[in-house]
Amino acid sequence: MAEFRKTSALMARGTEFLGSEYAILCGAMSWVSERNLVSAISNAGGFGVIACGAMTPELLDAEIAGTQALTGKPFGVNLITMHPQLFDLIAVCARHQVSHVVLAGGIPPKGSVEAIKASGARVICFAPTLALGKKLLRSGADALVIEGMEAGGHIGPVSTSVLAQEILPELAADHLVFVAGGIGRGEAIAGYLEMGAAGVQLGTRFACAAESIAHADFKKAFFRASARDAVASVQVDPRLPVIPVRALKNKGTEEFTAKQIEVAKLLDAGEVDMGEAQLRIEHFWAGALRRAVIEGDVESGSVMAGQSVGMVTREEPVADIIAALMAEAEAALSQRVAA
């Protein structure tokens, strides 16, 4: 701890809240953030988060138990707000006395925040704007994550640097705000901590750690890629909405554009109705992240990655990644000119 005195001091509110040594969360990544990576992050002093994704309550139950078998340190569970069994999943977390639940994917449905808090767990929510952040805190969120469009996976339209400037000065003094999106080195962590962040959340930097079960070809694709290869999905027709996702460009991303043009033409010709057309777009990526992460299909699968992917160059143990981030943050803070 003494090694990273300045950084740890700025992280104090975050570490107290998370119960971890460092206020560095590894954001939930579907298929990647399972028991091995999550326990490794928490054992190394960070804060791991299980990605529940589309898991059934039974699968989540097994994953939490499996993680608890590998670490005695705190970790969180990320639940997607539109999961049809959200309240059953909350009950599973409560049964295992999970200390922190992260609600992702939209405004939490009525009663969900209360249900989590009734179990004694803390609730962390994603705040896409300042107004929504304030609303979420009023509704009982204990902490917020603000995530910029540099991030891997599903993204909003605004960059991390702008969100941080809009939200931290307003909320960080009185509330816990964690910053995510595009963070690859400790110097950036130092900067956001100085702006008032309680800590940070990274995904891309941890996805290919030695303890990550991601397929070797998925990891190789990360090591080869540079920032400009991690692109946001493109929408070609306003009638056919596309949920923006940042992933490495590949044959799949090209085919997705072609698919949208093909479906738009069918719609123009009256050969499919709007519902069917939108369904065809929605279904294009079904199972694609699993194909990339687990099967190593990096050509047609969805290789979700953030722009910091260029800073991921080799497979390293989680503990080394965290130590490097903390050392970089500490060096940056130590070099600041004293007033």
Positions touching ligand FMN (CB under 6 A) are 27-30, 32, 51, 53, 78, 104, 147, 150-153, 180-183, 201-205, 207, 304-306, 308
What is the 3-class SS of 111-157, one letter each residue? CHHHHHHHCCCEEEEECCCHHHHHHHHHCCCCEEEEECCCCCEECCC
- Read out DSSP for 161-209? HHHHHHHHHHHTTTSEEEEESS--SHHHHHHHHHTT-SEEEESHHHHTS
Shortest reach from residue 275's CB to ligand FMN, in Å:
26
Strand-pair category, 245-248 with 230-232: antiparallel
Shortest reach from residue 270's CB to ligand FMN, in Å:
37
In the complex with ligand FMN, which residue's Cβ is closer, 151 or 240? 151
In the complex with ligand FMN, which residue's Cβ is closer, 187 or 237? 187
In the complex with ligand FMN, which residue's Cβ is closer, 112 or 308? 308
In the complex with ligand FMN, which residue's Cβ is closer, 45 or 181? 181
Total length of the chain: 339
Shortest reach from residue 266's CB to ligand FMN, in Å:
31
Shortest reach from residue 128's CB to ligand FMN, in Å:
12
Angstrom CA distances, 226 to 213, 232, 249, 251, 302, stand at 22, 14, 11, 17, 16
Shortest reach from residue 110's CB to ligand FMN, in Å:
21
CB atoms within 10 A of CB 236: 15
Return d(Cα 262, Cα 259) in angstroms, integer: 5
Shortest reach from residue 238's CB to ligand FMN, in Å:
26
In the complex with ligand FMN, which residue's Cβ is closer, 10 or 55? 55
For residue 126, the cross-strand partners are 145
Residue in the shown chain whose Cβ atom is closest to ligand FMN = 203
**Could you give the 3-state DSSP secondary structure of residue 330?**
helix
Shortest reach from residue 310's CB to ligand FMN, in Å:
11
In the complex with ligand FMN, which residue's Cβ is closer, 240 or 301? 301
- Read out DSSP for 285-314? TTTHHHHHHTT--TTTS--B--GGGGG--S
In the complex with ligand FMN, which residue's Cβ is closer, 7 or 33? 33
Shortest reach from residue 168's CB to ligand FMN, in Å:
17
Asked if residue 150 lies in contact with residue 306, where contact means CB atoms within 8 angstroms, the answer is yes
Asked if residue 139 lies in contact with residue 113, where contact means CB atoms within 8 angstroms, the answer is yes
Strand-pair category, 199-202 with 230-232: unpaired
In the complex with ligand FMN, which residue's Cβ is closer, 32 or 242? 32
